Amino acid sequence: MMKKYIKKCPVCGTYTLKDVCPKCGNTTKTAHPPPFSLEDKYMGLKIKGSS
C-alpha cells in the first residue's frame, strides 16, 4: 500500500495530495517537518539558519 503525504503550496497555502497546486498551478512541497534527531551532525547549521 502506498502511503500518501499531504502537501502544501508555498504560494497560496492550499493543502493537497497532488504535486501541483489545483488553485494556482505551482509546485507543492511536503507539509511535514523533517525528522528530528539529537545525533544529527548538521543540527547547529539548521538552528543557525532558521533564525
Q: Domain for residue 4, yes or no?
A: yes
Q: Domain for residue 39, yes or no?
A: no
Give the total number of structural domains in the chain: 1
pLDDT in tens, 15-50: 999 999 999 999 999 888 777 777 888 877 777 765
Containing domain of residue 16, as a range? 1-33
Q: Domain for residue 38, yes or no?
A: no
Average pLDDT over residues 9-20: 93
3-state secondary structure 1-51: CCCCCCEECCCCCCEECCCECCCCCCECEECCCCCCCCCCCCHHHHHHHHC
What pLDDT does residue 26 have?
94
What pLDDT does residue 1 have?
45
Q: What confidence category does residue 3 fall into, taking pLDDT thresholds of 50, 70 and 90?
A: low
Closest CA to 6 of 36, 24, 26, 28: 28
